[in-house]
């Protein structure tokens, strides 16, 4: 229920509104993308930055999800070919091999 | 007995509840464990195999609340004092996992014992103005055999004699210490050069195969749950209890009421809502609360029981955390190993410099806490610490805040104060419609002074170890609160060490629970979590939770108490 509420919003359903209405991620994206404008993708970078700066709450949401997509586990569809991990030298999940005791101690 | 469902019902499956179940079932009792959270730990049918649902996945564990509780479903609220109004914040407040295994799934398994003095701080060093210091109603010698059993049952690796400040022990650790982490070797050598006493941390991660579970393979993300169950806390105890055939574990069971008989002196069972929110009832001869020091008082306050002292929820303590970070010119390999392989307890035992600082501030003493030598390992978390923009990629490649960072975390002793408490929020509710728990908490100036005293010492160690820069921050934050200004760790303490909210003692007017873990008000209601702690000490609480639960369950069931010097072997 938590994630349906978080994604879809509370939609007036009493079982989702025990602490009041919740605006879902779907609505936040629809509204936020609308405010950035249909021509956002084609705008030059300075103009893109200017528009993002006018909407700090949506920009923060975009940034958090961009970071999850770039540095999170590829199983979710982002970080393709572990590009975010390769670029930053992060080994990711090393199970089932793990690290040997020598690799732990020496850092080699 | 015929109308009873079990000899005992236990609310909560974390380290305290699991240990209680382990002892009672071994003594032949029948036990039902009710757990509010979901089960990702082990099969609930014979042969109770260990699940493979844990992985080193930052999205799942750190961003998506896989182990629960989801703050949208189970919000908590926070304020510093009543002057803040009803609340400053609603959401995640010191959330420990709500899942089968409880806080043990999240913990990276550091298992230090308290010291002798920690059980009698008022007599030894007190009193302190504004703090409700008290001695525990039991001493270290009474608890020592249970510490030894706790280490054996969980499976603890460590090095006896390595810590000059440690309390006496009746025997060695069940396993030798695991391999030292690369960064910890550097920071431990520097600490020794500066007169401090780092030692190999006692941990619940197996250094050798133990009790049918494998040795830890150093994968580095203990806090997400152990993917290979090399961490014994508390899966070992739960599985052992289930294997007796006398234990049933019911996940997604939200306990709403402790049922009390007509005399008001006896508990008869519990009522709970099952996964479909249907009310269910269990009748048992004994009821054991092990829901943690946040949820246990919340349940009692909602039910209006156990509180003739008026102290349920009060004397809430955390650890006042001081984080000293250092930036190194090379990778610290912080993601290799069991998260923390070294501790040092120097701040727990005041020396002349600490005594002078205390005197100058008009305090009888200052005590910090054990210092963890650790790292920073989460790339999404790191990325969110950098602003978006053209420098982002370079910042991530340089990784000054992850790969090249080393961190000392001091778990500073937090003095109990009556005004620091958990109560019921007047309007915020959880998804079941019950009032959210609310924290009211502000540190005593003792904690601030101890942190300010030790931070520069730890920064000097960090620079001596080879860091190019070092600075310290704390949780909760120091200084004045400015509305609208975000603190990176939030205003509430980030500590997951929550203690003290059903204080243990012999006098029913000044304590909630007696020395044997029974509530003063109800003969057959017991507590098996850190609610009973009288003081917070400067140590990770898990092993003491387990030792106290082991003692209370042994006394309750008449199980022979372990005697000092018992030969240790895997259970």
ipTM: 0.96
Nearest to B336 among A19, A64, A103 (CB): A103
CATH of B6-557, one of 3.30.450.90, 3.50.50.60, 3.90.226.10, 3.40.50.300: 3.50.50.60
Cα nearest neighbour of B64 on chain A: A3
| pLDDT, position B567 | 44
Whether residue A71 and residue B58 make contact (CB cut-off 8 A), yes or no, is yes
Nearest to A67 among B384, B393, B397 (CB): B384
- CA atoms within 13 A of residue B493's CA, in its CB half-sphere: 24
* Phi and psi angles of residue B566, each rounded to the nearest 5 degrees, phi first: -55, 135
Whether residue B333 and residue A104 make contact (CB cut-off 8 A), yes or no, is yes
CA A75 to chain B, closest CA, distance in angstroms equals 9
Q: Does A53 touch chain B (CB under 8 A)?
A: no
* Phi and psi angles of residue B154, each rounded to the nearest 5 degrees, phi first: -75, -40
Whether residue A93 and residue B179 make contact (CB cut-off 8 A), yes or no, is no
With b for 16 or more beta-carbon neighbours within 10 A and e for fewer, the B286-315 pattern comes to: bbbbbbbbbbbbbbbbebebbbebebbbbb
Q: Does A99 touch chain B (CB under 8 A)?
A: yes
**What's the rounded Cα separation, in Å, for the pair B221 and B96?**
16
* 3-state helix, strand and coil shares in percent for chain A, rounded to the nearest 5: 60, 0, 40
Which of B336, B310, B339 lies closest to B501, judged by CA? B310
Best of A10, A73, A98, A106 to disrupt the B interface (most B CBs within 10 Å) is A98
- Residues B27, B557: contact at Cβ < 8 Å? yes
Instruction: Tell me the β-bridge partners of B198.
Output: B344
Which of B277, B299, B279 lies closest to B288, judged by CA? B299
Which residues in A lie closer than 8 A to residue B403 (C-beta atoms)?
A: 88-90
- Residues A96, B56: contact at Cβ < 8 Å? no
Whether residue A91 and residue B178 make contact (CB cut-off 8 A), yes or no, is no
For chain B, what is the total number of helices (H) and then of strands (E)?
13, 17
Which residues in A lie closer than 8 A to residue B179 (C-beta atoms)?
A: 101-102, 104-105
**Sheet order of strands, B435-440 included:** B89-91, B76-79, B435-440, B421-429
Q: If you average pLDDT over residues A23-52, what whole number do you get?
A: 96
Which residues in A lie closer than 8 A to residue B380 (C-beta atoms)?
A: 67-68, 71-72
Which residues in A lie closer than 8 A to residue B181 (C-beta atoms)?
A: 104-105
How would you class B516 by CB atoms within 10 Å of its CB: exposed for 0-12, middle for 13-18, buried for 19 or more?
middle
Which of B481, B473, B482, B468 lies closest to B452, judged by CA? B473
* Domain ranges for chain B: 6-557
| pLDDT, position B3 | 87
DSSP for B22-90, written as a single string: HHHHHTT--EEEE-SSB--SB-SSTT-PBP----S-HIIIIIS-TTS--TTTS-EEEESSGGG-S-SEE
Which residues in B lie closer than 8 A to residue A106 (C-beta atoms)?
A: 182
* Phi and psi angles of residue B136, each rounded to the nearest 5 degrees, phi first: -75, 155
Whether residue A100 and residue B55 make contact (CB cut-off 8 A), yes or no, is no
Which residues in B lie closer than 8 A to residue A48 (C-beta atoms)?
A: none
CA A38 to chain B, closest CA, distance in angstroms equals 22
Whether residue A89 and residue B180 make contact (CB cut-off 8 A), yes or no, is no
Query: Where do we find the tokens 């400053």?
Result: B88
Instruction: Tell me the β-bridge partners of B9.
Output: B32, B287
Q: Any residues with CB less than 8 A from the CB of B480 and at least 6 apart, and which?
A: none
Best of B63, B91, B379 to disrupt the A interface (most A CBs within 10 Å) is B379
CA A37 to chain B, closest CA, distance in angstroms equals 20
pLDDT, one tens digit for every residue, chain B (571 residues): 458 999 999 999 999 999 999 999 999 999 999 999 999 999 999 999 999 999 999 999 999 999 989 999 999 999 999 999 999 999 999 899 999 999 999 888 899 999 999 999 999 999 999 999 999 999 999 999 999 999 999 999 999 999 999 999 999 999 999 999 999 999 999 999 999 999 999 999 999 999 999 999 999 999 899 999 999 889 999 999 999 999 999 999 999 999 999 999 999 999 999 999 999 999 999 999 999 999 999 999 999 999 999 999 999 999 999 999 999 999 999 999 999 999 999 999 999 999 999 999 999 999 999 999 999 999 999 999 999 988 999 999 999 999 999 999 999 999 999 999 999 999 999 999 999 999 999 999 999 999 999 999 999 999 999 999 999 999 998 876 665 556 666 788 999 999 999 999 999 999 999 999 999 999 999 999 999 999 999 999 999 999 999 999 999 999 887 765 444 456 6
Pairing of strands B89-91, B198-200: unpaired
CA A32 to chain B, closest CA, distance in angstroms equals 17
Nearest to A68 among B59, B221, B336 (CB): B59
**What's the rounded Cα separation, in Å, for the pair B186 and B524?**
52
Q: Does A48 touch chain B (CB under 8 A)?
A: no
Instruction: Tell me the β-bridge partners of B79.
Output: B440
CA B194 to chain A, closest CA, distance in angstroms equals 22
Whether residue B59 and residue A18 make contact (CB cut-off 8 A), yes or no, is no
CA A85 to chain B, closest CA, distance in angstroms equals 8
Best of B75, B431, B437 to disrupt the A interface (most A CBs within 10 Å) is B431
> pTM higher than 0.95 for the full model?
yes
**What's the rounded Cα separation, in Å, for the pair A44 and A52?**
12
Report CA B92 to chain centroid distance, whole Å: 16
Which residues in B lie closer than 8 A to residue A88 (C-beta atoms)?
A: 379, 396-397, 399, 403
Whether residue A94 and residue B396 make contact (CB cut-off 8 A), yes or no, is no
Which residues in B lie closer than 8 A to residue A45 (C-beta atoms)?
A: none
**What's the rounded Cα separation, in Å, for the pair B530 and B96?**
13
Q: Any residues with CB less than 8 A from the CB of B535 and at least 6 apart, and which?
A: B118, B121, B133, B134, B136, B317, B413, B415, B416, B500
């Amino acid at each position: 229920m938590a994630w349906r509420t978080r994604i879809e919003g509370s939609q007036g359903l009493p079982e989702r509104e025990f602490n009041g209405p919740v605006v879902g991620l779907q609505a936040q994206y629809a509204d936020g993308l609308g405010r950035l404008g249909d021509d956002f993708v084609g705008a030059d970078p300075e103009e893109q930055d200017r528009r993002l700066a006018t909407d700090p709450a949506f920009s923060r949401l975009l940034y958090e999800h961009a970071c999850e997509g770039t540095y999170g586990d590829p199983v979710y569809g982002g970080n393709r070919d572990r590009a975010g991990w390769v670029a930053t030298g992060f080994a990711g999940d090393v199970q089932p091999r793990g690290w040997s005791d020598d690799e732990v101690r020496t850092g080699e | 007995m015929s109308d009873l469902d079990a000899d005992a019902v236990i609310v909560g499956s974390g380290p305290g509840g699991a240990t209680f179940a382990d002892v009672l079932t071994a003594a032949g009792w029948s036990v039902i464990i009710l757990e509010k959270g979901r089960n990702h730990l082990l099969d609930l049918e014979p042969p109770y195999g260990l699940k493979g649902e844990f992985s080193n996945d930052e999205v799942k564990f750190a961003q998506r609340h896989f182990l629960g509780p989801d703050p949208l479903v189970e919000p908590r609220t926070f304020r510093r004092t009543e002057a803040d109004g009803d609340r400053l914040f609603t959401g995640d407040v010191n959330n420990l996992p709500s899942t089968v295994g409880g806080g043990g799934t999240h913990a990276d398994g550091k298992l230090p014992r308290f010291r002798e003095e920690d059980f009698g701080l008022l007599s030894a060093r007190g009193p302190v103005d504004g703090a409700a210091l008290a001695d525990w109603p039991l001493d270290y010698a009474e608890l020592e055999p249970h510490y030894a059993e706790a280490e054996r049952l969980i499976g603890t690796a460590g090095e006896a004699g390595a810590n000059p400040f440690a309390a006496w022990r009746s025997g060695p650790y069940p396993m030798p210490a695991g391999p030292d982490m690369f960064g910890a070797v550097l920071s431990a050598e520097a600490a020794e050069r500066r007169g401090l006493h780092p030692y190999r941390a006692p941990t619940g991660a197996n250094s050798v195969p133990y009790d049918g579970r494998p040795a830890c393979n150093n994968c580095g993300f203990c806090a997400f749950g152990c993917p290979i169950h090399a961490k014994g806390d508390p899966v070992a105890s739960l599985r052992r209890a289930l294997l007796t055939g006398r234990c049933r574990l019911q996940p997604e069971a939200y306990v709403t009421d402790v049922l009390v008989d007509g005399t008001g002196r006896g508990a008869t069972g519990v009522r709970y809502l099952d996964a479909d929110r249907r009310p269910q009832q269990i009748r048992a001869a004994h009821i054991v609360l092990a829901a943690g020091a946040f949820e246990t008082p919340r349940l009692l306050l909602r039910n209006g029981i156990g509180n003739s002292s008026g102290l349920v929820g009060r004397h809430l303590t955390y650890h006042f955390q001081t984080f000293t970070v250092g930036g190194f010119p090379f990778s610290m390999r912080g993601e290799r190993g069991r998260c923390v392989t070294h501790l040092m307890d120097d701040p727990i035992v005041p020396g002349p410099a600490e005594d002078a600082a205390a005197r100058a501030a008009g305090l009888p003493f200052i005590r910090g806490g054990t210092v963890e030598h650790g790292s920073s390992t989460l790339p999404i978390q790191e990325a969110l610490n950098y602003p978006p923009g053209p420098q982002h990629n370079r910042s991530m490649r340089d990784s000054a805040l992850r790969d090249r960072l080393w961190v000392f975390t001091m778990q500073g002793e937090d003095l109990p104060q009556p005004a620091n408490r958990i109560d019921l929020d007047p309007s915020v509710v959880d998804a079941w419609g019950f009032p959210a728990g609310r924290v009211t908490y502000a540190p005593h100036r003792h904690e601030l002074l101890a942190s300010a005293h030790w931070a520069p010492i730890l920064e000097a160690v960090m620079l001596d170890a080879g860091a190019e820069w070092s600075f310290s921050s704390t949780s909760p934050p120091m200084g004045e609160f400015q509305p609208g200004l975000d603190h990176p760790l939030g205003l509430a303490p980030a500590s997951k060490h929550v203690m003290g909210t059903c204080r243990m003692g012999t006098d029913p007017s000044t304590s909630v629970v007696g020395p044997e873990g029974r509530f003063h008000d109800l003969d057959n209601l017991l507590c098996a979590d850190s609610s009973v702690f009288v003081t917070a000490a400067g140590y990770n609480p898990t092993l003491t939770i387990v030792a106290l639960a082991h003692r209370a369950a042994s006394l309750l069931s008449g199980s022979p108490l372990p005697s000092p010097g018992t030969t240790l072997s895997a259970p």
